[in-house]
Structure formats: structure tokens, C-alpha cells
């Protein structure tokens, strides 16, 4: 049996940081929206908060992406850990909406995740993904991204299960005790991230070519522009539901944090098999066709959710939809790293992620209003429509890359000496 190659230096620490954050985000992605409802915050105000968070995240993502390629990636990943710890401390110390709002806006705590972004680094993803790609090398980049995504998805599933503490620990004399326990866990997670990152070493930044002032090369701009347009549509769609799903299930079926947390845990547990299946399909069909196939099925499932007559039925549909949505995520991330130069990867990721997050700022306020007036179907149908258009654009823009890769493989096979 072939011996498994060890992970490149530093990769284990980066995966550990992403995994730790996923536990906290998996828990608070479920619990925090319902915590705001418990505090008496209206869905309209929650929607406005999520809109502000998306705008801030877009601006911060762009800044991190552009600066990380020049100043180094590690300082921004450390800042990400510090903000996580700070968020936990603020959540513990205050129940004021105006004190909690900056936590959501700057740290991204409690908004997103829910089976898709739980393993992500929010606005600091450009630095984290670029550093992972740099340390992985081109040959191992996709498998390592898949490994990191799988581990962090399972961690997010564990965090989603832990969100049930908001119900389990509640007492008549202390109804918010369970939430406080989750906030304390977030503080501990942030401190642990800082400790894990401390020994991480980063190679010095290569000097930019003489006379070059552009952020990206012309070829990189072309690829990033296409990725941004397709991703922007997807971001617009996700914004209609991201963060609101616990509230949606509560309004539709009357379920609490524990039930939604178990649902999200189910999504996370399917991530590993979904990633493996997508990788096999990509090897057979090509990366672009695999990405389009999986992301093209999810919208049809999401559109059926409002028609479900029970929590169990709606949960099953959502789990299936998220499995198809998540499956190609590592392939898509690795693909995006491969179409730009190494020295431009953080900048390219920042620009692309900003183009995704700005549209996602448009939709939450509308969803907050729709939920307030009792329209529970339209947000999911708008989400499904945007995601379907995004998948179609992705295939239109990048199908030629699968054809080129196929021709290279075929020519290599014809030129290989007969055995």
C-alpha cells in the first residue's frame, strides 16, 4: 500500500484555524439570528443588519485581498482570529443590538455558514486561500482544498449540533444561559486560533516585476471578471436566505435552535461524501462541467422548499440542495486559484469575493420585509432563480477550459509510447 504523503509545512495549522472557526460559525450561524429574535429585534432590522454586514464584508474582503499580496498573508489571518475572539467577548458582555451589530458587521459572526460558508474565513478568505494555495503547490492544491473543506464542514456540523445548547441549557430563571455558553465558546475558539497561528511561517513576498503597477495582469482580469459576474448572481441569490434560515424554519414550522442545528449538522455530515463524488465527476467530465452540474441541480430543490408540508420534508429538501451546492466548492476554489498568477491570488480572490458579496447586500433587507409580512416563499424562489442563472453563466464562460484540458489529455495519450 502506498504511503500517504505528509501535508506540506503549515497546511495543518491553516486547516486547524479554519476548522476551529467553523465550529463557532456552525453554532452561531444557527443560534445568533434566533438570539436576535429573542431580544425582540424585528426581521426588518435583522435584514438591514445583514445588508450592512454584506457591504462591510465586501469592502474588507477587497482590502484584505489587495494588501495581503503586498504585505503578506499571515497578518490578516491573525487579525481574523483576533476578531473572532473579540466577537465572543462582546457577545458575552452585552445584549444591546447596537453593541452586537458591529460584531456581525466586522467579524462575520452569526451571519452565513449554514452548511455552505461555515468552513470559510469570511472577509479574510483571500489571505487564507492564497496562503493555502502557496503552501500546497499546484500538484496538490485541489486535494488539499478538498481536505480542508471536508474537515471544516464536519466541524461546522459539530458546531451546528452544539447550537442546541441554546435550548438545552435554558432555564426559567436564565432563558439565555445556553446562548451565553455558545458566546463563551466563540471567545475560546478565537484565542485557540491565535495560539495555533503563532508559529506559522510565511515566505517573503516576491518583488513585483519592475515597472508593473496593475493589480492584476490582463489575463487574470479576464478570468476574474467572468468569475465575478457568475459569482455575483450567486451571491445575490444566497443573500435572500443566508442568515435567515433559522428564522424561516421557526416561522414556517415553529421549530427552535436545537432542531435547526440538527438539520445543519446533517448538511455538514454530507459534505465529505459530496466532495468525493464531485471530485470523481470532475475527473471524468472536467471541472467546469462538474461544477455546473452540481450547482445547476440545487436551485430546483430550493424552489420546492416552500411547498413542503412538514419540517421533516423541508429539511430533507434543504439538506439535498446544500449537498449539491457544497459538492463542487473545493474544485471551484482550486480552479479560481489556478486561473491567475501565484503572486496575484489574494488580490484576485479579494476582487472576486467582493463582487459576490456586494450583490448579497441587496437581498437581506428585502427578505426581512417579506418575512415580516408573512411571505415565506418568495425569498427562496428568488434565491433559486439567481443560482440557476449563475450556473448557466459559469458554464458559458468556462466550458472551453474543459475542452482544452480534454484535448491535452488526448494528445498526451496518442503520443505516449506503446507499452
- So what's the pLDDT on residue 1? 43
Q: What is the pLDDT of residue 93?
A: 93
Domain assignment of residue 315, yes or no: yes
Mean pLDDT value across residues 362-376 = 91
pLDDT of residue 214: 63
Residue 305 in any domain: the answer is: yes
Provide the pLDDT for residue 188: 96
Give me the pLDDT at residue 419, please. Answer: 41
Supply the CATH number for residue 193's domain: 1.20.1250.20
- Of the two residues 5 and 240, the one the predictor is more confident about is 240
Q: What is the pLDDT of residue 116?
A: 43
pLDDT of amino acid 320 = 92
pLDDT score, position 414? 43
Number of domains in the chain: 1
Residue 358 belongs to a domain: yes
207 falls in which pLDDT band (50, 70, 90)? low
Mean pLDDT for the stretch of residues 176-199: 94
Contact yes or no for 205/70 (Cβ under 8 A): yes
What integer best gives the mean pLDDT of the chain? 84
Q: Is residue 366 part of a domain?
A: yes
Q: Would 210 be classed as within a structural domain?
A: no
> Which whole-number Å values give the CA distances from 290 to 276, 300, 314, 389, 395, in the listed order?
12, 17, 26, 16, 10
For residue 92, what pLDDT is reported? 93
Tell me whether residue 196 is in a domain: yes
Residue 212 lies in a domain: no
Euclidean distance between CA atoms 123 and 373, whole angstroms? 32
pLDDT surpassing 60 at residue 305: yes
Pick the more confident residue, 297 or 326: 297
pLDDT score for 177: 93
**pLDDT above 80 for 203:** no
Say what the pTM is. Answer: 0.79
Question: Residue 209: what pLDDT?
Answer: 56
Per-residue model confidence as pLDDT tens digits over 38-85: 999 999 999 888 888 888 888 888 888 888 878 888 899 999 899 999
What is residue 336's predicted lDDT score, i.e. its pLDDT? 82
Q: Is 379 within 8 Å of 369 (Cβ atoms)?
A: no
Confidence of residue 404 (pLDDT cuts 50, 70, 90): low
d(CA 276, CA 149): 11
Dihedral of alpha carbons 343, 347, 350, 354, sign: negative
CB atoms within 10 A of CB 409: 11
Spatial contact of 133 and 335, defined as CB atoms under 8 Å apart: no
Positive or negative, the CA dihedral 115, 116, 119, 121 is: negative
Q: What is the pLDDT of residue 412?
A: 36
Per the model's pLDDT, the better-predicted residue between 7 and 19 turns out to be 19
Contacts of residue 200, Cβ cutoff 8 Å, sequence gap at least 6? 10, 13, 14, 74, 77
> Quick one: cell of 104?
456581525
Q: Is the pLDDT of residue 111 over 50?
A: yes
Distance separating alpha carbons of residues 9 and 310, to the nearest angstrom: 48
Residue 4 in domain: no
DSSP 103: I
Confidence of residue 379 (pLDDT cuts 50, 70, 90): very high
Least trusted range by pLDDT, from 113-122, 159-168, 291-300, 347-356? 113-122
Q: How confident is residue 321, by pLDDT bands cut at 50, 70 and 90?
A: very high
CB-CB contact of 249 with 318 (8 Å): no
Please state, in angstroms and rounded to a whole number, the distance separating the CA atoms of residues 186 and 182. Answer: 6
Q: Which of 27-36, 121-130, 289-298, 376-385 bottoms out in mean pLDDT, i.e. has the lowest?
A: 121-130
Res. 410: pLDDT tops 90 = no
List the domain range (segments joined by +) for residue 287.
16-201+217-407
pLDDT over threshold 70, residue 3? no
**DSSP run (H or E) holding 166:** helix 165-168
Q: What would the mean pLDDT of 213-234 be, rounded to a whole number?
A: 83
- % residues pLDDT > 70 (the chain): 89
Cβ pair 88, 186 in contact under 8 A: yes
**Does the structure show a pLDDT above 50 at 409?**
no
Q: How confident is the model at residue 402 (pLDDT cuts 50, 70, 90)?
A: low
Cα–Cα distance between 302 and 279 in angstroms, integer? 23
Q: By CB neighbour count within 10 A (0-12 exposed, 13-18 middle, 19+ buried), where does 1 fall?
A: exposed
Q: What is the three-class DSSP state of 340? A: coil
Backbone phi, psi, residue 174, to 5°: -145, 75
What is the CA angle 258-114-140, rounded to 5? 130
| Spatial separation of the C-alpha atoms in residues 220 and 306, rounded to whole Å | 40
Take residue 400 and report the three cell numbers written for it: 472551453
Task: Name which residue leads in pLDDT, 139 or 237.
Answer: 237
Q: Which of 120, 15, 13, 142 is nearest to 57 (CA)?
A: 120
The yes-or-no verdict on residue 413 having pLDDT over 60 is: no
C-alpha cell at 131: 496562503
Binning pLDDT at 50, 70 and 90, where does residue 418 land?
Answer: very low
Amino acid at each position: 500500500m502506498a504511503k500517504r504523503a505528509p501535508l506540506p509545512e503549515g497546511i495543518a495549522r491553516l486547516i486547524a484555524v479554519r476548522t476551529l472557526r467553523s465550529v463557532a460559525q456552525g453554532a452561531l450561524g444557527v443560534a445568533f439570528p434566533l438570539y436576535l429574535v429573542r431580544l425582540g429585534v424585528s426581521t426588518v432590522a435583522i435584514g438591514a443588519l445583514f445588508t450592512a454586514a454584506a457591504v462591510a464584508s465586501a469592502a474588507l474582503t477587497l482590502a484584505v485581498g489587495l494588501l495581503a499580496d503586498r504585505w503578506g498573508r499571515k497578518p490578516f489571518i491573525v487579525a481574523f482570529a483576533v476578531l473572532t475572539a473579540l466577537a465572543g467577548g462582546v457577545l458575552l458582555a452585552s445584549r444591546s443590538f447596537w453593541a452586537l451589530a458591529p460584531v456581525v458587521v466586522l467579524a462575520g459572526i452569526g451571519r452565513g455558514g449554514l452548511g455552505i460558508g461555515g468552513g470559510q474565513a469570511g472577509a479574510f478568505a483571500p489571505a487564507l486561500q492564497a496562503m493555502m494555495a502557496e503552501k500546497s503547490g499546484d500538484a496538490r492544491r485541489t486535494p488539499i482544498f478538498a481536505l480542508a473543506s471536508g474537515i471544516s464542514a464536519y466541524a461546522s456540523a459539530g458546531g451546528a449540533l452544539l447550537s442546541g445548547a441554546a435550548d438545552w441549557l435554558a432555564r426559567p430563571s436564565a432563558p439565555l444561559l445556553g446562548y451565553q455558553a455558545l458566546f463563551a465558546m466563540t471567545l475560546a475558539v478565537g484565542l485557540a486560533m491565535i495560539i495555533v497561528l503563532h508559529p506559522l511561517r510565511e515566505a517573503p513576498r516576491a518583488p513585483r516585476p519592475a515597472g508593473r503597477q496593475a493589480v492584476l495582469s490582463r489575463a487574470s482580469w479576464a478570468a476574474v471578471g467572468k468569475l465575478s459576474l457568475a459569482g455575483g448572481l450567486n451571491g445575490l441569490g444566497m443573500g435572500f436566505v443566508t442568515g435567515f434560515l433559522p428564522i424561516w424554519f421557526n416561522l414556517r414550522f415553529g421549530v427552535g435552535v436545537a432542531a435547526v442545528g440538527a438539520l445543519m449538522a446533517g448538511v455538514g455530515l454530507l459534505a465529505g461524501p459530496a466532495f468525493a463524488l464531485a471530485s470523481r465527476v470532475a475527473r471524468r467530465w472536467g471541472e467546469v462541467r462538474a461544477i455546473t452540474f452540481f450547482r445547476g441541480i440545487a436551485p430546483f430543490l430550493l424552489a420546492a422548499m416552500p411547498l413542503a408540508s412538514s419540517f421533516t420534508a423541508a429539511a430533507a429538501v434543504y439538506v439535498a440542495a446544500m449537498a449539491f451546492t457544497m459538492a463542487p466548492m473545493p474544485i471551484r476554489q482550486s480552479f479560481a486559484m489556478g486561473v491567475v498568477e501565484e503572486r496575484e491570488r489574494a488580490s484576485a480572490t479579494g476582487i472576486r469575493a467582493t463582487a459576490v458579496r456586494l450583490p448579497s447586500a441587496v437581498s437581506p433587507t428585502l427578505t426581512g420585509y417579506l418575512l415580516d409580512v408573512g411571505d415565506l416563499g418568495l425569498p427562496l424562489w428568488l434565491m433559486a432563480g439567481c443560482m440557476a442563472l449563475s450556473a448557466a453563466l459559469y458554464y458559458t464562460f468556462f466550458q472551453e477550459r474543459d475542452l482544452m484540458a480534454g484535448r491535452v489529455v488526448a494528445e498526451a495519450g496518442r503520443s505516449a509510447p506503446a507499452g
